[in-house]
Chains A and B, each alone.
Chain A
Amino acid sequence: MIERISGKRKAWCAMMRTFCIISLVLVTALTAFMLIYVLVRGLPHVTPELLFTKPSTLRNTIGILPDILNTIYIVITTLLVVLPIGVGAAIYLNEYATNKKVVEMIEFAAETLSGIPSIIYGLVGMLVFCQFCSFGTSLLAGSLTLVIMNLPTIMRTTQESLKTVPESYREGAFALGAGKWRVIRTVVLPTCINGIITGCILSIGRILSESAALLFTAGFAHNVNGFFRGMGSAGATLTVALYVYASERGEFDIAFAIAAILMILTVIINLLTTYMGKLMERRNGQ
């Protein structure tokens, strides 16, 4: 049978296809441009001196060692606090909860949290952690603010992987006489460890790219501190430092150097999550 398609229909199809291709090319070009532009402008300024010194007004040099340390401290503290809460909440939702109302309430709260903009987290974090809990402007206050921001991410990824644990695993363990907590600890959690790791990687990505929530909670200082002293004092993370150097001091070379570092970390984090996703797919496929 010979298909007859009118010229008008053909033209419409061709137009729609062109739109699709143009959009896709635009998105690809945009990503490539962002990557190349930031790396080309930033990488030449990423020197050992920049990475391993602190800013010195005497010698008029800028180093980002304090900002790197602060970022690492904040990532560690945030994950240490958010992991037990997020994983625990997911376990409650998936393993324990019997009351549908409670489940709906918690899930609604998590969704609401994931929609709140980071500037509002910053404000409330400042009110609650810096003022009410009197931690002052410190990395600790910043971390705790980020804990609440990242809670939905950890909850969601953990819950998704809890759902993929086959019911027969649990039944098998129960049949052997294990209590509920023992089953969760020794059978369910180890099976969904990949999902929890994915959640961690995603959270690290969010923490690295966060700035608005940290501006008023963690502050701007650039001092090199040990972990515990650092948590108690104010400090800028890489993104906050980037903002300050670009917007308030006009040091674009330094800003681009930090941007290049952040860009590389972003790509690494994305490769890791893609890899983890594939790993889980393979396991679930079996």
Chain B
Amino acid sequence: MNLSQYIAEKGYKDNPRRLVEDLIQLVFLILGLVAVGSVLVITVYLVVSGLPAIFKIGPVEFLFGTRWASTASEPAFGILPFILTSIYGTAGAIIIGVPIGFFAAVFLAKMAPKKVREVMELCIGVLAGIPSVVYGLVGMTILVPGIRILFNVPDGATLLAAIVVLAVMILPSVINVSLSALQAVPREFEEASLALGATSTETYFRVTVPAAKSGIFTAIVLGIGRAIGEAMAIMMVAGNVANMPSIFKSVRFLTTAVASEMSYSSGLQREALFSIALVLFLFIMIINAILNVLKTGGKRK
């Protein structure tokens, strides 16, 4: 079909306003597709620039090698220390942060008076808005010396410091998402439980919380995503040495491995940094997929 036929069929000649309307709709469609295009570009660029180095180094050696010495005369590119550090660090942050966030959310959703809730919402908003470098700065000046003195280790810039900072940083999203899940539980559930003689606290924890289960899981997974992707704050407190992770050792995460060497990298080292970013991206994509499953699962119910 050629253009003139198309114009005739759509009736643009007799009705130029329709042409304008259709053009505007097309513009909006293009604007809508910018997000899709961005995701594609990011994925393609990461895969194209990240894959070659993995094959040059050897996938097994890259993923399971325990030694990272990118600038040595005989360089080694094993990123297992980074992967494990990211997993341990995230797990630690979840273990500390989620219980605190969960109990705070239950209190805010069910027990807090309106005034307390309003003040707390502001607090959580501020906590979420504080730039990560500020967390890093406070961590550097309080947490790092504190850990050194408290546990009597030579340097306080350790995995532990990073875990504490990450735990604080995931708090706002854990609280907010659990809070809205808890608030969405129908009031009838609680009334039924209260009518059967359960106390209010029992009702909240035995009825409301199980009913909001999928929302709370979402909060945890979201927290995992936040923690695994954080770079600057933990770069400032974790000491940044490519050790295998241990709670009182200076460590390097997937994110900080990329951030700390990018500015002076070249050749295979630079390519390997892109491969690390690709691995990180895969982790994030898995987390996104889990979030999606949780979301559609929640809707079906």
Contacts and interface: CB of A to CB of B under 8 A. Distances in A.
Are A and B genuine complex partners? Answer: yes
Contact of A259 (B17, B134, B228): B134
B130 A92 contact: no
Interface of B, helix, strand, loop or mixed by DSSP: helix
B33 A13 contact: no
Contact of A155 (B35, B107, B285): B35
A24 interface: yes
14 contacts: A20-B111, A23-B101, A23-B103, A24-B107, A28-B120, A35-B126, A91-B28, A106-B33, A117-B229, A117-B230, A119-B258, A127-B49, A179-B17, A246-B133
Interface of A, helix, strand, loop or mixed by DSSP: helix
A92 B28 contact: yes
A120 B277 contact: yes
A286 interface: no
B210 interface: no
Contacts, number: 250
A155 B31 CA distance: 11
Contacts of A123: 46, 258, 262, 274, 277
A243 B136 contact: yes
A118 B120 contact: no
B250 to A, nearest CB: 14
Size range of the interface on B? 35 or more
Contacts of B100: 23, 26-27
Contacts of B140: 246-247
B138 interface: yes
Interface stretch (B18-26, B51-59, B183-191): B18-26
Nearest to B228: A117
A105 B292 CA distance: 13
A120 B31 contact: no
Q: Which 3 A-B pairs have the closest CB atoms?
A: A117-B229, A88-B31, A209-B131
Interface string A235-271: 0000110110011000010011001001100110111
B36 A212 contact: no
Size range of the interface on A? 35 or more
Contact of B171 (A27, A113, A209): A27
A118 B126 contact: no
B255 A180 contact: no
A19 interface: yes
Interface stretch (B6-14, B65-73, B145-153, B197-205): B197-205
Interface string A208-235: 1111100110000000000000000000
A110 interface: yes
Contacts of B134: 34, 38, 209, 242, 259, 262-263
Contacts of A181: 20-21, 24
A124 B41 contact: yes
A23 B99 contact: yes
B231 interface: yes
Given A115-B225, A119-B277, A128-B45, A209 B21 contact: no
Interface of A: 3, 5, 9, 12-13, 16-17, 19-24, 26-28, 30-31, 34-35, 37-38, 41, 84-85, 88-89, 91-93, 95-97, 102, 105-106, 108-113, 115-124, 126-128, 148, 151-152, 155, 179-181, 205, 208-212, 215-216, 239-240, 242-243, 246-247, 252, 255-256, 259, 262-263, 266-267, 269-271, 273-274
Nearest to A132: B45
A241 B262 CA distance: 18
A109 B199 contact: no
Given A106-B33, A109-B35, A271-B122, A179 B281 contact: no
A71 to B, nearest CB: 11
B232 A211 contact: yes
B137 A246 contact: yes
B236 interface: yes
Contact of B107 (A23, A41, A128, A205): A23
